[in-house]
Amino acid sequence: MTDHFVPGLAVELGDLKLKNPVITCSGTFGSGVEYANFYDPSILGAVTTKSFSLSPRQGNPPPRIFETAGGILNSIGLQNPGIDQFITDDLPLIKNLISMPY
């Protein structure tokens, strides 16, 4: 019986030790918890949340996305509920969902 080879994917990024090099792009992953509806984010090496501001921001007037020949341009305008809400509401969820880097 052949042993299955499991490649080692662990990487180091500065002081961070990640179990694999797959990291979400900032701005695409909301507050880090929304995609848990679709898959387990803890399988990723790291998660980057969308940027948060001190005070809540409404963001830019629409349209915020425009299709180009090479893809899309977007200018959301940093719509976010503010850092306080992130700390109070989202961070506890993230800690539950996503394992700490090892």
Residue pair 44/23 in contact (Cβ under 8 Å)? The answer is yes
Residue 52 C-beta: closest distance to another protein, Å: 13
Q: Which amino acid appears at position 65 of this protein?
A: I
Quick check: 70 binds another protein (CB under 8 A)? no
The per-residue DSSP string of 14-65 comes to TTEEESSS-BPPTTSSTTS-GGGGTS-GGGSSB--PPP--SS-B--PPSP-E
Near another protein in 19-48, by CB under 8 A: 27-30, 34-35, 37-38
Quick check: 15 binds another protein (CB under 8 A)? no
Q: Which stretch, 1-9, 15-23, 66-74, 94-102, contacts another protein (CB under 8 A)?
A: 66-74
Residue pair 98/42 in contact (Cβ under 8 Å)? The answer is yes
Which residues are at the interface with another protein (CB under 8 A)?
Answer: 27-30, 34-35, 37-38, 58-59, 61-67, 72, 74, 76, 79
